[in-house]
A and B are shown apart, each in its own frame.
Chain A
Amino acid sequence: MSQPQESMATGAEAPPLLSVEGLAVHFPITKGALWQRHTGAVRAVDGVSFAIDRGQTLGLVGESGSGKSTLGRALVRLNAPSAGVVRFQGQELPGEAGAATAALRRRVQMIFQDPYSSLNPRMTIGAIIGEPLAIHGIGNAAARRDRVRELLETVGLPARSMDRFPHQFSGGQRQRIGIARALALRPDLVIADEPISALDVSIQAQILNLMKRLQQSLGLAYLFISHDLAAVRYISNRIMVMYLGRIVEAADAADLYARPLHPYTVALLSAAPVPNPKVERSRERIILAGDMPKPSETQRGCRFRGRCWLFRRLGAPEECQTRDPKLMPLSRDRSVACHFADRVDGRVEQAATTGAGE
């Protein structure tokens, strides 16, 4: 734990903007109405480590129940972590509230999926966007109004929007308002949890372009959480794939799509239909059997094996049934949590994911 500080002191290498080590979020399962007994735990996030550099976008993909939203919320302490260390520029984020924590937390903000329910319907847009400033006691009322006006302009909304209410705006405009609110405290990192999935297709592109523009002009870093593989590909530099509370693969965006190495990544890419009828007619889709198991059901071995096509293909290897694969670095930029990742490489299943297998 002292190591990063040492390296900072010698100036050998600047620490990443955000680094996460062994983060876990477990929700207790209780039984009984009066004396609540703990009977187990939902391991929503189960030991996750990663880093985000300044000005970069890290994509986080996975299905519902994978723990990706819980992970994002744990970073802004909307969910309390059960274990692990979160460092911001090498400085550890303490669990308890305090002046130092508040100052750090200002620099990490969040935007949400549903622009309809994340804005208070009784507040004006000006009050919503200015609220973080008021809470942190920044500027007087007049200065805050100026800042709100500037923020509205930044996200492409007219300044007169200030005195209106959320219901007077469309979904895309509301997401712009949510982004303006997140930018109010000049954060370095924005956690975006499914920011476009509630929006119409033509509006999604507007928001993606806005987020990219803001990143370039403000030097923002993003953790972009989504189940939309194409959108994540578009906006991310690096991507992590999450399954049942664990990161199963992490790679540079282009590499992940060109050469997925975890059987789950392969299946995920193969399942997503691409807007090209010729590719669609020629490709063979991998259909995963069943649903993701519940994160409360602990099992020995690899947690993906029940749905894994490679596990079946290899004749149910002993190793997958007994040993939980760790996320292992294969190269500087790529890690995979699979005992048989080398058997994925070069397979027709891998080639067929992007239609390159024609």
Chain B
Amino acid sequence: MLLSVQDLAVRFHTEDGTVHAVNRVSFDIDAAETVAIVGESGCGKSATSLAIMGLLPPAQASIAAGRILFAGADLVRLPEKRMREIRGRDISMVFQDPMTSLNPVLTIGRQLTEALSAHERLEKGALNARAVELLRGVGIAEPERVIGRFPHQLSGGMRQRVMLAMALSLEPKLLIADEPTTALDVTIQAQVLALVADLTRRSGTAVLLITHNLGVVAAMCQRVLVMYAGYVVETATVDEIFDRPLHPYAVGLLHSLPNFEDSAGDDLVPIEGTPPDPLEPIRGCPFAPRCAWRIAACWQENPPLAAEHGNPAAPGTHAVACHNPVTAEEALKGAPLRPGFMPAPAPSEATAR
């Protein structure tokens, strides 16, 4: 086990109140494994990755509970000095927007060699040669010219690849990629994903991939965590989540996606409503207000993640946090099929009747 996140809870402190961004999140990643966290904005996927990196803004955020075990050490309790050594050398991160993580006033070459020299002792000439080689490795044409440029002189796709080169430069044990291809065109996305896959194969780097793109998940990952409103609502192998999703939110996400076979005649099944206001305290299951499968208990109690429907061939890979999981037939249809089933009304509506 390379990384083990146990019962992680992250809070954001805002003027308007406390946001429970991450709640009781647990998962493991092995070496050379690619694990996805899937979810929409505000689901806690980025806060989880920032917590692992020790990059939560200290004035606004805190880790309220939990442990993050990496190579035997608990990163939550590690002093900043030790954490700085781990960042870059053992754990690297790439973000959606490369402009925020590149220094706008330093050349690409300078930034790459600085990252390299912070962890490795090399002469200046050797550092430069290594920087050029790294850029070539991420598919940048004419790297000798690119090292003399500033970030704003490069296209978005080039910047993203520069950042990837920086993240990969030290062959980290763990790469956290937060929506690494969301801002990129599909052809550049294909280049970047091929690079990441190549790295896991070559140097056994584990990848935590944070994305909302289920196509990328299918192409890259072995396991998936689905997050909603700060909770992991389902965890499964990549085949399980696409073949046999159990949580109504996971089913909803899959049916929201048009695919190449859909034609203008078929209707998508969207998830109605919007995610909950992060400042509002949640009673019961956070997905209940949007859920077509909800029963009375869903308004009362937030269900824990439980492996009740484990795949007998690989026990323990599939777990869901749901009072009324979706059946196989319903998952195909995208709607509850039990005769006469109606989503349970909210308690206030029920008493009003």
Contact = CB atoms under 8 A, between A and B. Distances in A.
Contacts of A280: 215, 218-219
B272 A206 contact: yes
Nearest to B161: A291
Given A202-B271, A234-B262, A276 B190 contact: no
Interface in B93-118: none
A288 B260 contact: no
Contacts of A138: none
B218 A268 contact: no
A42 interface: no
A175 to B, nearest CB: 12
B188 interface: yes
B274 interface: yes
Nearest to B258: A234
B91 to A, nearest CB: 25
Interface string A172-209: 11000000000000000000000000001111111011
A257 B260 contact: yes
Interface string B123-158: 000000000000000010100000000000001111
A286 B194 CA distance: 11
Contacts, number: 144
A280 B256 CA distance: 19
Interface string A251-287: 0011001000000000111111111111110000111
A274 B268 contact: no
Given A206-B270, A276-B242, A231 B186 contact: no
A170 interface: yes
B266 to A, nearest CB: 8
B191 interface: yes
Contact of A208 (B187, B191, B268, B274): B268
B16 to A, nearest CB: 13
A273 B213 contact: yes
Contact of B218 (A200, A209, A273): A273
Nearest to A237: B264
Interface in B237-264: 238-239, 242, 252-264
Contact of B139 (A64, A277, A289): A289
Contacts of B327: none
A235 B266 CA distance: 10
B190 A288 contact: yes
For A170, A209, A274, A286, the residue with the greatest tally of chain B CB atoms inside 10 Å of its CB is A274
Contact of A209 (B186, B257, B262, B270): B270
A33 B281 CA distance: 57
Contact of A274 (B156, B215, B267): B215
For B40, B212, B258, the residue with the greatest tally of chain A CB atoms inside 10 Å of its CB is B258
B214 A275 contact: yes
A63 B269 CA distance: 28
A212 B264 contact: yes
Given A209-B267, A235-B264, A277 B218 contact: yes
Contacts of A204: 256, 270
For A254, A268, A269, A273, the residue with the greatest tally of chain B CB atoms inside 10 Å of its CB is A273
A357 to B, nearest CB: 13
B268 A209 contact: yes
A181 B262 CA distance: 29
Nearest to A61: B186
B185 interface: yes
Given A172-B274, A230-B257, A289-B139, A267 B262 contact: no
Contacts of A173: 274
Interface string B195-218: 000000000000000001111111
A354 interface: yes
A267 B187 contact: yes
Contacts of A277: 218-219, 238-239, 242
A236 interface: yes
Interface string B146-178: 000000000111100000000000000000000
B224 to A, nearest CB: 10
Nearest to A208: B268
A273 B260 contact: no
Contacts of A291: 155, 157-158, 188
Contact of A170 (B189, B193, B262, B274): B274
5 shortest A-B CB distances, which residue pairs?
A: A234-B258, A273-B215, A205-B270, A205-B256, A200-B40
Given A227-B186, A274-B259, 18 more contacts: A63-B186, A202-B253, A204-B270, A205-B257, A205-B271, A206-B270, A227-B185, A233-B260, A268-B187, A269-B260, A273-B193, A273-B219, A275-B218, A275-B259, A280-B215, A280-B219, A285-B194, A290-B141
Interface of A: 57, 63-64, 170, 172-173, 200-206, 208-209, 212, 227, 229-231, 233-237, 253-254, 257, 267-280, 285-291, 354
11 contacts: A201-B40, A203-B40, A203-B274, A205-B268, A205-B269, A209-B270, A230-B262, A233-B260, A275-B217, A275-B254, A289-B141
